[in-house]
């Protein structure tokens, strides 16, 4: 079995799709469908089985079940950067991940998991080094603490352990994420409803809509996961982004170009985000490329076009 935790979520469901497209007929989704709206992400996917996230941990106690697992691609997490219940966040993102890590290490099973660029927070250099890790919220801290645990427990693993620090991912199957969906998703909805995309005014040293992020298309993120799955000798924690920051204006203009009309309106920067907002992110890909991973990343313009063509069934 190829296990994808968070398999009904945004990145997880796209990863499930790609595994199926590559001929894996043994893909098992592990998730929590308390939010039943997520079922649409896997309704069109011919998965081998679905297991609740809590039941999965119990099933791992069965040696027969555990021996049937070929790899665990751990995408499940609470990814809401506005969630400040630290106890919940650490149980969900840290403790649960620890359990899966140890089962995979004990069984010699590849473990590829989702980390996050949120571990860098206030840093302006996005390199996989401890002095650049400065999270601004408890979500980022939960991801950083697990990365630290991996570095301590699995510094030289006998089986593969890979952490991927995702930057700003966008693409199909994110509609259930609400406010946490990508800006491309929100700009498209705003343009459809009101004819305008609403961007923040300038903040810090950045002009209106000129805050910069490393926006990475979900298919490219999945391609990195699958590259590591196909290269089991590669382990470590790696940035997963394009390596080229682009502005929110670039995203809005790409969506406007796709739709053929629309305008941008700038709104005041929220007081609640001051001091807790990443105005700039850009993945340093030196370590990823040194691993041998040669996945090419789309620009915002190419990714947005592919995204909305996919939604239109083209």
Whole-angstrom distance, CA of residue 53 vs CA of residue 45 = 19
Give catalytic status of residue 170 as yes or no. no
Residue 258 in contact with residue 219, Cβ under 8 Å? no
Whole-angstrom distance, CA of residue 159 vs CA of residue 80 = 31
Question: What does the CA dihedral 59, 63, 65, 66 come to, rounded to 10 degrees?
Answer: 90
C-alpha angle 39-115-223 in degrees, rounded to nearest 5 = 70
Please tell me what DSSP assigns to residue 197. E
Size of the chain in residues:
314
Measure Cα distances from 180 to 20, 32, 167, 177, 314 in Å.
Answer: 27, 18, 13, 5, 26
Give catalytic status of residue 139 as yes or no. yes
Residue 123 in contact with residue 133, Cβ under 8 Å? yes
Whole-angstrom distance, CA of residue 50 vs CA of residue 61 = 17
Which is the catalytic residue, given 177, 244, 287, 305?
177
Which is the catalytic residue, given 139, 166, 217, 277?
139
Specify burial of residue 196 (Cβ count, 10 A radius: 0-12, 13-18, 19+).
middle
Active-site annotation, residues: 139, 177
């Amino acid at each position: 079995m190829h296990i994808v935790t968070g398999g009904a979520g945004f990145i997880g469901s796209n990863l499930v799709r790609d595994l199926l497209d590559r001929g894996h007929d043994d893909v098992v989704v592990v998730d929590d469908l308390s939010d039943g709206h997520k079922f649409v992400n896997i309704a069109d996917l011919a998965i081998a089985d679905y297991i609740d996230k809590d039941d999965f941990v119990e099933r791992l106690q069965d040696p027969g079940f555990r021996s049937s697992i070929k790899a665990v691609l751990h995408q499940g997490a609470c990814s809401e950067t506005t969630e400040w219940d630290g106890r919940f966040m650490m149980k969900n993102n840290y403790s649960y991940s620890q359990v899966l890590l140890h089962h995979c290490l004990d069984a010699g099973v590849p473990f590829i998991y989702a980390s996050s660029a949120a571990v860098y927070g206030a840093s302006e250099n996005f390199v996989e080094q401890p002095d650049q890790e400065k999270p601004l919220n408890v979500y980022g801290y939960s991801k950083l603490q697990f990365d630290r645990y991996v570095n301590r427990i699995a510094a030289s693993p006998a089986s593969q352990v890979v952490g991927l620090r995702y930057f700003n991912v966008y693409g199909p199957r994110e509609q259930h994420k609400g406010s946490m969906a990508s800006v491309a998703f929100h700009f498209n909805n705003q343009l459809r409803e009101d004819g305008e995309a609403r961007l923040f005014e300038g903040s810090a040293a950045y002009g209106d809509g000129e805050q910069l992020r490393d926006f990475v298309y979900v298919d490219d993120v999945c391609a990195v996961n699958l590259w590591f799955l196909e290269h089991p000798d590669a382990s470590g924690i790696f940035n997963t982004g394009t390596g080229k920051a682009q502005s929110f204006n670039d995203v809005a203009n790409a969506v406007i170009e796709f739709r053929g009309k629309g305008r941008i309106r700038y709104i005041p920067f929220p007081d609640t985000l001051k001091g807790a907002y990443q105005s700039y992110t850009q993945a340093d890909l030196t370590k990823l490329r040194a691993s041998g991973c040669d996945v090419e990343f789309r620009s915002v313009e190419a990714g947005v076009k592919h995204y909305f063509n996919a939604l239109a069934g083209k």
